[in-house]
């Protein structure tokens, strides 16, 4: 049965998650370590290619998060006035920034410090490293409740898990009545483990994110991750990644993505891109259904204070617009995204993830990679988590770009 049928039909939601998970794992390749010697695989060109692309995706998200953190949740015109054009990592200072250093944001003022997006992405990585497949929303919720350090989480995301913990709702159904928005930049581990298999990545994230997401945001997020997984395929391009996102999208998600892409295609400068995204593609109120009506653009009103938008109907189309506008250039892609205001770190993280999976770690300036790795070692070893995740992908036998090689 079609995945989106399950997303659309609330009455069959829990059954749908079970069937998706069972189907995905029933068709999973037998563990690759049963077929070939792991050392041989890890010395192959296919593995080196995979690891490089995974590093591009994983570090790209962390880099964009750390760069986008200081100027996030403000209007792009205020960013122009108070920050100028942001060209790299900044210290966290208030003013000119809007956020307050502490749990749920960045923990340090040091340039290169990550925010809650990367902390939660690290917990998603640890979930995979410590839980055996099949991976389900139930397993994820209970792993986080037992093991995650929620002091580093966005508090809204924790509320859904507490409802599961209290027995008020199942993990599979928690997202239907949860506040929508936020959490779009946590899911790179799914595409890394399913590199080269957009459908598997899409199905898996659609199942897991049920803890927080109603149908539309599940649909949008699964398409974002499908695009990441597609980017790993040899011969992929910016256009083919965008097409993978659109091909995976339901009716409303596709319209939202296409609206933002049309704006990006016509933009001749970042300022023109921002002006038209703010005028035509900001979203405050939107249906939770995958075939709901196209939302009217939110009116752009300049404010001095916080000015963020966390709805996926805005965030993820903007990320795809910046990815298209950047046209494969790392600085143009990431710097345009982080300077655009609104939820700039989360938006930029997915634009950077598509780009990193497409071109590999070398697409990022070494200084950027080293800065984000070293600035956050007190809390996490980003490189170490990535290496373990890549090894898991090989052991699980889910990495299509390796399975399709004759090693």
Sequential DSSP letters for 134-190: SP-HHHHHHHHHHH--GGGS-HHHHHHHHHHHTTSS-TTTGGGGSPP---TTS-HHH
Q: Computed over its alpha carbons, how large is the radius of gyration of the chain?
A: 20
Token readout for 117 is 């997006």
Residue positions in the annotated binding site?
A: 115-117, 343, 345-346
For residue 9, give Cα distances in angstroms to 123, 198, 249, 290. 30, 22, 16, 10
| pLDDT score of 241 more than 70 | yes
Spatial separation of the C-alpha atoms in residues 345 and 349, rounded to whole Å: 6
pLDDT classification of 10: cutoffs 50, 70, 90: very low
Show Cβ contacts of residue 61 under 8 Å, excluding neighbours closer than 6 positions: 117, 118, 121, 185, 188, 349, 350, 352, 353, 356
Of the two residues 88 and 8, the one the predictor is more confident about is: 88
Identify which of 15, 62, 55, 49 has the alpha carbon closest to the alpha carbon of residue 380: 62
Spatial separation of the C-alpha atoms in residues 252 and 378, rounded to whole Å: 42
Q: Encode pLDDT of 364-393 as tens digits.
A: 999 999 999 999 999 999 999 999 999 999
Domain ranges of the chain: 3-403
Show Cβ contacts of residue 125 under 8 Å, excluding neighbours closer than 6 positions: 189, 385, 386, 388, 389
Percent of the chain with pLDDT over 90: 83
pLDDT recorded at residue 102: 82
Q: Encode pLDDT of 299-343 as tens digits.
A: 999 998 899 999 999 999 999 999 999 999 999 999 999 999 999
Show Cβ contacts of residue 342 under 8 Å, excluding neighbours closer than 6 positions: 72, 73, 76, 282, 307, 308, 309, 314, 315, 318
pLDDT classification of 99: cutoffs 50, 70, 90: confident
Q: Encode pLDDT of 339-360 as tens digits.
A: 999 999 999 999 999 999 999 9
pLDDT recorded at residue 35: 53
| pLDDT score of 153 more than 80 | yes
Q: What is the pTM of this model?
A: 0.93
pLDDT recorded at residue 6: 52
pLDDT classification of 22: cutoffs 50, 70, 90: very low
**Residue 152 burial (CB count, 10 A):** 22
pLDDT classification of 395: cutoffs 50, 70, 90: very high
**Residue 2 burial (CB count, 10 A):** 8
What is the CA angle 9-253-6, rounded to 5? 20
Show Cβ contacts of residue 107 under 8 Å, excluding neighbours closer than 6 positions: 101, 113, 152, 379
| pLDDT score of 134 more than 60 | yes
Q: How many CA atoms lie within 13 A of 221 on its CB side?
A: 32
Residue positions in the annotated binding site for Mg(2+)?
A: 115-117, 343, 345-346
pLDDT (mean) for 77-88: 96
Mean of all residue pLDDT scores within the chain = 91
> Which CATH fold topology does 3-403 show?
ADP-ribosylglycohydrolase fold (1.10.4080)
């Amino acid at each position: 049965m079609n995945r989106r049928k399950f997303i659309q039909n609330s009455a069959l939601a829990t059954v749908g998650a079970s069937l998706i998970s069972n189907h995905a794992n029933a068709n999973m390749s037998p563990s690759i370590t049963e077929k070939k010697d792991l050392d041989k695989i890890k010395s192959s060109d296919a593995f080196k290619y995979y690891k490089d692309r995974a590093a591009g995706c994983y570090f790209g998200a962390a880099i964009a998060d750390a760069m986008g953190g200081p100027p996030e949740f403000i209007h792009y015109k205020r960013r122009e006035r108070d920050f100028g054009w942001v060209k790299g990592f900044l210290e966290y200072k208030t003013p000119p920034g809007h956020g307050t250093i502490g749990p749920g944001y960045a923990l340090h003022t040091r340039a290169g410090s990550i925010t809650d997006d990367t902390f939660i992405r690290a917990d998603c990585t640890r979930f995979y490293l410590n839980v055996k497949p099949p991976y389900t929303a139930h397993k994820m919720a209970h792993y986080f409740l037992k093991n995650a350090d929620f002091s580093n989480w966005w508090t809204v995301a924790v509320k859904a898990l507490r409802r599961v913990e209290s027995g008020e709702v199942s993990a599979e159904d928690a997202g239907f009545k949860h506040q929508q928005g936020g959490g779009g930049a946590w899911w790179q581990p799914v595409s890394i483990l399913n590199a080269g298999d957009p459908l598997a990545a899409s199905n898996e994230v659609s199942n897991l994110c049920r803890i927080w997401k109603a149908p539309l945001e599940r649909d949008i997020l699964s398409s974002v991750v499908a695009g990441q997984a597609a980017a790993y395929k040899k011969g992929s391009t910016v256009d083919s990644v965008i097409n993978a996102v659109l091909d995976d999208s339901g009716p409303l998600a596709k319209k939202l993505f296409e609206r933002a892409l049309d704006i990006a295609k016509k933009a001749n400068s970042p300022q023109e891109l921002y002006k038209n995204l703010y005028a035509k593609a900001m979203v405050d109120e939107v249906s939770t259904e995958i075939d709901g009506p196209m939302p009217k653009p939110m009116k752009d009103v300049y404010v001095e204070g916080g000015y963020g938008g966390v709805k996926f109907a805005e965030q993820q189309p903007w990320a795809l617009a910046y990815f298209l506008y950047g046209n494969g250039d790392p600085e143009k892609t990431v710097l345009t995204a982080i300077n655009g205001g609104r939820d700039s770190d989360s938006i930029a993280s997915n634009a950077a993830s598509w780009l990193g999976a497409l071109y590999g770690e070398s697409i990022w300036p070494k200084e950027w990679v080293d800065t984000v790795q070293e600035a956050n070692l007190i809390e996490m070893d980003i490189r170490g988590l990535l290496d373990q995740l890549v090894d898991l992908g090989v052991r699980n036998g889910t990495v299509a770009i390796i399975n399709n090689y004759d090693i």
